[in-house]
Structure 1
């Protein structure tokens, strides 16, 4: 049902209006009864009025009924609103947080008990209708509110009102009894303001405990760090109270433990130290005390002398919070060394002055000494430069007698010796062979140590090196009844083929020498970008503590045992030196009683391009030497005689010469050009290559020639090859000599 527009008005007021209308109608009826009018007209008027009154009365009854219903509904609405208000109040009271509602005029509408109970002394004054500025003033004056020491009551009140008028705001406030609340307010869409006050005391206390625990842990870490420092460290608060220290601080200042405690005053500690430890250093003590009283800046190091004579360096630093850190370091040894140095300097200066006076008189002598020193330096440099030449000459002089002996032994073997003589000659030949090997190795070591050996790094065929060496050592392995197996590889190593061959040769020789039964395996395998060339044996093995020992000169395992293999102990010394020269790594693995493995690691490289031979070379057959003439140039008459005998024994015509001049003179008297020139490289005047070049120039063409030398350096070999001359190493072996002769003179 729809209510009339005035349904919201009080019922009494509506009834009063209706009665007023009724009286007006009745008066109108009475005034309209005029006896001067005829009776019928009155009758009609009466009937009309009765109908109108009846209609109005019906309307009035309906209106009264509607008003009654509206009043009933209004009462129900009032009851519902009151119930809702009571429910809202109960709900707000049930909230544990403080709650307050202010209207748009900043007047308190309602608040709950927790809101009022936070500040008991103003609880009774928090009444509805109170303005917020008044409530802020009451809060500021409460004895339960704890303000910052630099904040006044009026300043707090103004700040609170300012925050209240913001759309959203929050802050944390401390209360008495170590209580804390978080206050927040928020504007509603209608302009009202809701304020919440949450008790966060438990959270603040828990956070405080956590921070205290963290600080305690940090304090322990700091203390452990301080205790490990060599300096004495003491930290003081802004009011000069001891906060932290280490044991070194106590030791250096000799402080009694009863004085060293948290919050101990600096003055007391320093007073005790000044009287007992630094009693003799008043000036330094007062300087530090003055800085402590007003530490405006860091303290530069100050040295204090203890009563026992030791010296402490004291420095200080001002912390951001106004506290200080003081460090004490014992610098006694440094100062003693410094004093000793200063004394030495003063003494030296005095001696220099005295010596200067003496040198004034000896200046000429000193200049002469300087000149001699310069000459000595130049001489030493020249000796260093000529070391290679000296080694070459030394090898020549050492091997010359040995070369002569080998030549005459070869001649002696063809003189029809009986069996006993042949036996003795063989023994002598073996002895000379051993001497030759030792001397050659020693000279090699000298050349490697002097740096006169230069490596020619080119691609080298691993298969060619290993196969050749296996064939050479096979007879020696067969003689000892050992198996010698070779597992070559088609890989190419970036190395010096000659020097790499010498390394592997020495390793195989050692393996066969020290292996009594079983065998030796030689092979190569690829490892990434390197090749591992390996020699395995089934020998006695090498103890781990002897694996460096065996690479030293004249070192052999078991050399004190009567049945130990014979050798000079130089093979591995050569191996190590060549490996260093080539920058190749040597690896050893060994098990006692099982055997050993030596490996040399060399860089891997691509296979070089080789020229395809047009046709297979036919092996040349030895030629008859009876129709050939040879000029032999040798400045050693004994060796010259031996060479003549060797050549003539094979039917050749040999013409001797001790120099290039004599050879040229002999050449003019010959009926035909000689077929061969054999020249010693080291002559009294010039070299063998120069002598051969001179003879070739004299005849107008290149006579086949052989240079014989004990100089194995790369430089000499390169020079010989540059002249197109064959190269033969001393001591001369008869077989090698004649094989080379057949090679150079064969058509």
Structure 2
């Protein structure tokens, strides 16, 4: 039996010599019981320290003397090392070997108080970890550099954006001011031309007068389109949707485009409706205005244009349908491009091709949907989808449809106030030709100084918005205070901003946009004169 046990012990000893780890077993007194060759080799110990019975303290002291345990007193370092290995049931520590290799130790206490120490060369793993750490550090540095670079770029972009916003703001302010100065003489020219057209109807100058009118209309359309695009792109347009009676939107199209359609021998039909929609009245009106204008322009004489609403779920679909020249699907994108026109359309009507570009911009700004369907040579349907709302009872801004008055049929007293003398003279000429009793002034100060209203009470007031000393809205309030709170008034202005329209609507004041179109002016005067039939109450 003793021989068998001795053979087993020898076999175990031989087996552990082939393990890649260094292994040593110590008894309860921390004396070496057995150690393999790898243990001796990795620690580079002398033969005397790997013989059975060699104290663990002697091994630790040898390593300390050699410098493997760091600087300081060797005995103290040896004791600290032994305490580290034996303090816990299992301990894992690292040590740099005599050859500079990284050694990882695992020590385990045995039930009888002994100790088992195993360790292995983990130099490659440690180097890999250090390389990974260096890589991570390098990556972090690169990330910090990229972040700093992105921060600089973002800062530069923010500065550039701020400069662009400031430039856009300045451009918008400039265009707002310029539009007034540019449209003022154009307005006067339109008024003079309107008088000339009516007086030249039976003379050889009729064609010449109409040609001048057409040219002025083209200039007005181009300027209005460019101003609209500028306001949209600069963000100056702020949508403010409210419940709107759809009949008012449609009636406005009939009043504005009825004369144009009749002149071109085109049947314009507006379908009556009691529906209500949620919309920014001014901006949606501009969209429909462009769509109806285009439909009439590109429909040959004898054709038809239909405008109406249909309910589609919780939305209303506003259709503008024509029997015009149409287009094919390949031309859809071209339709909405700036300064781009279809060849056949360019032959039919003048313009820069900005109308549908403005429509597209407004539709996007309002978050609406525009649908189009067309057949080349057969006609087109443009459909604007608007949120439906409950039916609202809103007094229409338009009175009963008035028949087109003949020349000289407007027997009204009209007070005109404008700070441009040329516009005053042109307005006087046109209104007097229509049969109106007209008094005019450049300012409220002139009205008061010359006593223009003594013994003369106007049926209505046509007031410029940009006066020298006050706004037209405040001037109208002053007149109402001094003449009568019911005095009907219209603001005649080149300012097309929704803010001005909103202020005018709040005070019950109509808006006529410069350059003034005679048909629109006659319709406004007729509507205001109907209001004046209500007895006025003098308040001052």
TM-score, with structure 2 as normaliser: 0.59
| 1:335-374 matches, cutoff 5 A | 338=142
* In 1: Cα distance, 2:196 partner to 2:181 partner: 23
Paired position in structure 2 for 1:532: 317
Structure 1 unmatched ranges of 5 or more: 1-149, 151-237, 241-282, 305-312, 316-330, 346-373
Match of 1:649 among 398, 423, 433: 433
Match of 1:574 among 350, 358, 363: 358
Q: CA deviation at 1:519?
A: 6.3
* In 1: Cα distance, 2:364 partner to 2:277 partner: 16
Q: CA deviation at 1:700?
A: 6.2
Paired position in structure 2 for 1:131: none
Paired position in structure 2 for 1:450: 234
| Aligned-partner SS, 1:432 | helix
Cα deviation, 1:231-287, whole Å, max 9, x if unaligned, reads xxxxxxx989xxxxxxxxxxxxxxxxxxxxxxxxxxxxxxxxxxxxxxxxxx9xx99
Contact 2:187 2:514 in 1 (8 A): yes
Paired position in structure 2 for 1:496: 280
Q: CA deviation at 1:723?
A: 3.6
Contact 1:488 1:522 in 2 (8 A): no
Aligned length: 409
* In 2: Cα distance, 1:619 partner to 1:709 partner: 24
| 1:178-577 matches, cutoff 5 A | 293-294=120-121, 302=129, 313=132, 338=142, 390-416=174-200, 419-462=203-246, 465=249, 469=253, 491-514=275-298, 524-535=309-320, 542=327, 546-558=331-343, 563=347, 565-577=349-361
Contact 2:200 2:209 in 1 (8 A): no
Cα deviation, 1:529-561, whole Å, max 9, x if unaligned, reads 3333344566666565643342232221237x9
Q: CA deviation at 1:712?
A: 1.9
Q: CA deviation at 1:702?
A: 5.1
Q: CA deviation at 1:716?
A: 1.2
Structure 1 residues 523 and 709, CA gap change in structure 2 (3 angstroms):
closer
Match of 2:392 among 576, 593, 608: 608
* In 2: Cα distance, 1:626 partner to 1:606 partner: 39
| 1:25-104 matches, cutoff 5 A | none
Contact 2:282 2:498 in 1 (8 A): no
| Aligned-partner SS, 2:362 | helix
Bigger radius of gyration: 1
* In 2: Cα distance, 1:416 partner to 1:454 partner: 44
Paired position in structure 2 for 1:693: 477
Paired position in structure 2 for 1:99: none
Contact 1:456 1:496 in 2 (8 A): yes
TM-score, with structure 1 as normaliser: 0.45
| 1:103-142 matches, cutoff 5 A | none
Contact 1:634 1:659 in 2 (8 A): yes
* In 2: Cα distance, 1:534 partner to 1:575 partner: 14
* In 1: Cα distance, 2:491 partner to 2:258 partner: 31
* In 2: Cα distance, 1:529 partner to 1:537 partner: 26
| Aligned-partner SS, 2:477 | helix
Structure number with higher relative contact order (C-alpha < 8 Å, ≥ 6 residues apart)? 2
RMSD, matched Cα: 5.1
Structure 1 residues 645 and 609, CA gap change in structure 2 (3 angstroms):
closer
Match of 1:728 among 491, 512, 521: 512
Structure 2 unmatched ranges of 5 or more: 1-11, 13-18, 22-95, 105-118, 150-158, 534-540
| Aligned-partner SS, 1:569 | coil
Q: CA deviation at 1:432?
A: 0.9
